[in-house]
C-alpha cells in the first residue's frame, strides 16, 4: 500500500474512533478523500501529523476510548481539531476552530464555517443516525419526503 493510502486509512481509522461509526460505513459515504483534503488545507500540517502519530500510538480494543480521551481530546492543541473532525463527518461541514485555539495555534484563511460540498451535506452521518432525509435534498418524487429512508423500513 502506498504512503498516501496509509495516510487516508489512518484518517479513516481515527475518524471511526472519534465518530463511533465503523470505517466501512465512513468510506461508504464517499467523502473520506474530500474530508482529508479539507483538513489538510485548513489545519497546519505539523498539527495533523501529530494528531495522526498520537492516534497511531494509542492502544487498541477497550483501552482505545479512554486513551483517545486523555491522549487526544484532552490535549489543548489536538482536541479541538479532533472534535471538529466529528462535526465534519456528522454534518459534511467544517466549523471554525475556537477563538482561543486560533489565537494559540494559528488561523488559516480556510478556517471558516462552510459546507464541504453539496454531496458532503447529503452524506453527513447525522441524517442516517437520525433516520431522516437530508433536509432539502430528498430524492425526486412528489411526496417522497414522507417515505422512510432506506434501511428504515421497519420502524
Using CB under 8 A, list all residues that contact another protein.
1, 22, 24-25, 27-32, 34, 117-120, 123, 128, 138-144, 147, 149-151, 153
CB of residue 59 to another protein, shortest distance in Å:
23
- Could you tell me the smallest distance in angstroms from the CB atom of residue 9 to another protein? 10
Q: What are the DSSP E strand ranges found in 43-133?
A: 93-94, 114-115
Helix (H, G, I), strand (E, B) or coil at 93: strand
Q: Smallest gap, in angstroms, from Cβ of residue 86 to another protein?
A: 20
Shorter beta-carbon distance to another protein: residue 1 or 103: 1
Q: With respect to another protein, which residue has the nearer C-beta, 17 or 123? A: 123
3-state percent helix, strand, coil for the chain, nearest multiple of 5 = 60, 5, 35
Of 32 and 72, the one with the shorter C-beta distance to another protein is 32
Distance from C-alpha of 53 to C-alpha of 43, rounded to nearest angstrom: 15
CA neighbours within 13 Å on the CB side: how many for 121? 9
Amino acid at each position: 500500500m502506498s504512503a498516501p493510502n496509509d495516510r487516508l486509512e489512518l484518517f479513516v481509522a481515527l475518524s471511526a474512533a472519534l465518530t463511533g461509526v465503523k470505517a466501512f460505513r465512513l468510506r461508504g459515504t464517499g467523502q473520506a478523500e474530500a474530508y482529508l483534503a479539507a483538513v489538510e488545507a485548513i489545519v497546519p500540517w505539523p498539527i495533523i501529523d501529530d494528531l495522526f502519530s498520537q492516534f497511531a500510538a494509542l492502544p487498541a480494543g477497550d483501552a482505545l476510548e479512554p486513551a483517545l480521551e486523555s491522549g487526544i481530546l484532552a490535549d489543548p492543541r489536538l482536541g479541538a481539531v479532533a472534535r471538529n473532525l466529528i462535526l465534519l463527518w456528522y454534518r459534511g461541514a467544517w466549523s471554525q476552530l475556537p477563538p482561543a485555539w486560533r489565537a494559540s495555534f494559528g488561523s488559516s484563511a480556510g478556517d471558516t464555517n462552510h459546507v464541504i460540498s453539496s454531496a458532503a451535506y447529503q452524506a453527513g452521518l447525522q441524517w442516517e443516525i437520525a433516520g431522516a432525509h437530508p433536509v432539502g435534498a430528498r430524492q425526486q418524487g412528489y411526496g417522497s419526503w414522507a417515505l422512510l429512508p432506506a434501511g428504515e423500513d421497519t420502524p
